[in-house]
Amino acid sequence: MSEAAAPLAGLWRDAARRLRANRVACGALGLLAAVALLALVAPPVSPWDYDSLDWQHLAQPPGLAAAHWFGTDRLGRDLFVRTLSGVRLSLLISLAASALSVGIGLAWGALAGFAGGRTDEWMMRFVDVLYSLPYLFIVIILSAVVGRGSIAVLLIAIGAVGWLTTARIVHGQTRALKRREFIEAARATGLPTRAILVRHIVPNLAGTVAVYATLTVPQMILFESFLSFLGLGVQEPHASLGNLINAGAQEMESAPWMLLVPAAFLVVLLVCLNLLGDGLRDALDPREH
Amino acid sequence: MPSTRASTEVASLPASQALLTLSDLTVSFTTAAGTLTAVRQLSLAVARGECLSVVGESGAGKSQAFLAVMGLLAANGRAQGSARFLGTELLGLAAPALDRVRGAAIGMVFQDPMTSLTPHLTVGEQIAEVLLRHLKVGGGAARRRALELLERVQLTDPARRLGQYPHELSGGMRQRVMIAIAIACEPQLLIADEPTTALDVTVQAQILALLADLKRERALGVVLITHDLGAVAGVADRVAVMRAGSLIETGPTAAVFKSPRDPYTRELVRAAAPPPAIFSAPGTAAGATALALTDLSVEFAVSRGWLRSPTRLSALSGVTLELAAGEALGVVGESGGGKSTLARAALALLRPCAGEVVWMGRALLELPPRELRALRGELQMIFQDPLGSLDPRMTVGEIVGEPLSVHRRELAAAARAAAVVEMLRRVELGSELLGRYPHELSGGQCQRVGIARAMILEPRLLVCDEPLSALDGPTQQQIMALLERLRRESGMSLLLVSHNLAVVRRLCERVLVLYLGRMMELARTQSLYSQPRHPYTRELLAAVPVADPDLQPARLKETRPGEPPSPLAPPSGCVYRTRCPHALSVCAERVPAWEVTGGAGDGANRVACHRWRELS
Give the DSSP H or E segment for B430.
Answer: none
Pairwise CA distance, residues B142 & B131, whole Å = 7
If 0-12 CB within 10 Å is exposed, 13-18 middle and 19+ buried, where does residue A137 land? Answer: exposed
Is the confidence at residue B130, as pLDDT, over 60?
yes
- Per-residue pLDDT of B260-309, as tens digits, reads 999 989 888 887 776 555 555 444 455 788 999 999 999 888 776 666 77
CB atoms B391 and A2 under 8 Å: no
| CB burial of residue A175 (10 Å; 0-12, 13-18, 19+) | middle
The answer to whether the Cβ–Cβ distance between A184 and B389 falls below 8 Å is yes
Q: What are phi and psi of A191, to 5 degrees?
A: -70, 135
- State the burial class of residue B351 (Cβ atoms within 10 Å of its Cβ: 0-12, 13-18, 19+): exposed
Contact indicator for B383, B465 with CB cutoff of 8 Å: yes
Phi and psi of B605, rounded to 5°?
A: -80, 140
Segment holding B26, helix H or strand E:
strand B18-31
Inter-chain contact B388–A187, Cβ cutoff 8 Å?
Answer: no
Cα gap B34→B298, rounded to integer Å: 52
Amino acid B500 reads N
Q: Which residue of A has its CA nearest to B441?
A: A287
B463: helix, strand or coil: strand
Q: Does B377 touch chain A (CB under 8 A)?
A: yes
Instruction: Show which residues on chain A lie within 8 Å of chain B, measured between beta carbons.
Output: 1-7, 10-11, 14, 180-182, 184-192, 195, 199-200, 203-204, 206, 284-287
**Contact criterion met (CB < 8 Å) for B406 and A286:** no
B40 in A contact zone (CB under 8 Å): no
Q: Model-level pTM?
A: 0.79
Chain A neighbors of B377, CB-CB under 8 A: 190
Enter the DSSP assignment of B309: P
Between the CA atoms of B194, B198, B200 and B204, what dihedral angle is there, to the nearest 10 degrees? Answer: -20
Burial annotation B487-497 (CB, 10 A radius, 16+ → b, else e): beebebbbbbb
pLDDT at B344: 92
Averaged pLDDT, B478-485: 89
Contact of B378 with chain A, judged by CB distance below 8 Å, is answered with no
- Please, what is the end-to-end C-alpha distance for chain A in angstroms? 22
**What is the spatial distance between Cα B161 and Cα B411, in angstroms, rounded to a whole number?**
60
Tens of pLDDT, residues B252-273? 999 999 999 999 898 888 877 7
Confidence of residue B476 (pLDDT cuts 50, 70, 90): confident
Q: Specify the 3-state DSSP secondary structure of A95.
A: helix
**Alpha-carbon gap, residue B606 to B520, rounded angstroms:** 8
Return the bridge partners of B45, or none. B21
> Minimal Cα distance from B431: which residue of A?
A1
> Between B384, B395, B406, which is nearest A191 by CB?
B406
CA distance A271 to A269: 6
User: What DSSP element (H or E) covers B315?
Assistant: strand B311-324
Residue A2 — very low, low, confident or very high, per pLDDT cuts 50/70/90? Answer: very low
A95-104, A151-160, B259-268: the lowest-pLDDT one: A151-160
Which segment of A143-157, B8-22, B191-205 scores lowest on mean pLDDT? Answer: B8-22
pLDDT at position A151 over 90: no
Q: B291: part of which helix (H) or strand (E)?
A: strand B289-302
- pLDDT score for B274: 64
Looking only at the bridges linking them, the beta strands covering B354-359 and B106-109 are unpaired
Those residues with Cβ within 8 angstroms of residue A245's Cβ, 6 or more apart along the chain or in another chain: A225, A259, A262, A263, A266
B420 interfacial to chain A (CB closer than 8 Å): yes
Closest residue in B to A177 (Cα–Cα): B391
Q: What is the mean pLDDT of residues A241-256?
A: 83
Q: CB B417 to CB A188 under 8 A?
A: no
Q: What are phi and psi of A53, to 5 degrees?
A: -100, 140
Distance of CA A97 to the CA centre of its chain: 6
Separation of alpha carbons A101 and A99, rounded Å: 6
- B373 to chain A: which residues are within 8 Å by CB? 190-192
Option in B402, B414, B439 nearest A189 (CB): B402
Chain B closest CA to A183's CA: distance in Å?
7
Please state, in angstroms and as integers, the Cα–Cα distance from residue B241 to each residue in B33, B57, B194, B232, following that order.
28, 9, 15, 11
pLDDT-derived band at A8 (thresholds 50, 70, 90) equals: very low
Q: CA-nearest residue of chain A to B412? A: A5
